[in-house]
Amino acid sequence: MTNGTINTDPRLFNGCEVGGYRNRDGWLPACDWPADSQIQFGQDLSGKFSFFEVFMEHPDPRFHRGEGPTVADAEQNAWARLERWRACDHEWVRRDGGAAGSTDTCGRCTKCRGVQTSMYPPMTTCRVCGVATSDHTDRNDAYLCAVHGHWSVLPRELWREHHWRQQMRDLGRRRISDMQGLEEEVWAAQSIFCEPPADIPRELDLVMARYRSRS
Ligand SMILES: [Zn+2]
Ligand SMILES: [Zn+2]
């Protein structure tokens, strides 16, 4: 900044804030990105080119990216593509072509080749109520909606490791005013283990077991 003021553009995040580890020089975007967008940029891991990424709201693309020799070039590339996107009379098709069992909810425009998130329901359904969902999975990899995948509803023997952690977090956040009588609270506290029980398989073990069963 030349005038000595610190610009705290609220759109910059993830180390790209002025003075952040990705933006020590205080570079600022030049184009008219929406006020509620989130922007990050930097060098590709190869160090050979720069990227500029913007997260916006519908109907703009949820995720948008440009590349170029410098961050400024990458931004110009991303902006040109956004203008093309906005001018396009999109024709959406499922990005995955409607593959059975897909959890991909993205659409791809057949005209501008743009990709948009959350356009289609997943092709998987909740094991309990049958709504299209891919929100959660149980220990047997069955899909569950947000309601039936919650730890307080899912039978304990179908829990995965993250259900256990979710339960511990939820209990930790309970407000005093929501608590019951002292006797019930003592009973509840004594019935909570500090460590996940040994029969909760680690996520990595589940992934490995699935991988082995395939080969
Ligand atoms: Zn389009
Ligand atoms: Zn359900």
The mean pLDDT of 98-120, rounded to a whole number, is 92
The mean pLDDT of 16-31, rounded to a whole number, is 93
Ligand at shortest distance from the CA of 130: 2
Cα(154) to centroid(ligand 2), Å = 10
Ligand at shortest distance from the CA of 116: 1
Q: Tell me, what's the pLDDT at 54?
A: 97
Ligand at shortest distance from the CA of 149: 2
Give residue-wise pLDDT tens across range 118-171. 999 999 999 999 999 999 999 999 999 999 999 989 998 899 988 988 888 887
> Which residue has 């179908």 as its token pair?
158
Q: What is the pTM of this model?
A: 0.68
- What the block records as the tokens of 83 is 């203008």
Cα(43) to centroid(ligand 1), Å = 28
* Number of alpha carbons in the 13 Å side-chain half-sphere of residue 33: 28
Q: Tell me, what's the pLDDT at 27?
A: 94
What's the chain's average pLDDT? Answer: 87
Q: Tell me, what's the pLDDT at 2?
A: 46
Residue 194's pLDDT band (cuts 50, 70, 90)? low
Contact (CB, 8 A) for 53 and 16: no
Q: Residue 53 CB: number of other CB atoms within 10 A?
A: 18
Contact (CB, 8 A) for 119 and 135: no
Cα(162) to centroid(ligand 2), Å = 18
By C-alpha distance, which of 12, 4, 9 is closest to 71?
12
Cα(5) to centroid(ligand 1), Å = 40
Domain ranges (residues) in the chain: 1-87, 89-123, 136-214
Q: Hey, what amino acid is at 41?
A: F
Kindly list the protein residues that place their beta carbon closer than 5 angstroms to ligand 1, a single-atom ion.
88, 90, 109, 111-112, 114
Contact (CB, 8 A) for 196 and 164: yes
Element spanning 101, H or E: none
Ligand at shortest distance from the CA of 83: 1
- Percent share of the chain, pLDDT over 70: 90
Cα(112) to centroid(ligand 2), Å = 36
Q: Tell me, what's the pLDDT at 7?
A: 56
Domain 1-87 grouped into CATH 3.30.160 = yes
| Predicted confidence (pLDDT) at residue 5 exceeds the cutoff of 60 | no
Q: Hey, what amino acid is at 66?
A: G
**Lowest mean per-residue pLDDT among 7-11, 56-60, 92-96, 188-192:** 188-192
Helix (H, G, I), strand (E, B) or coil at 170: helix
Q: Tell me, what's the pLDDT at 189?
A: 66
Q: Tell me, what's the pLDDT at 174?
A: 76
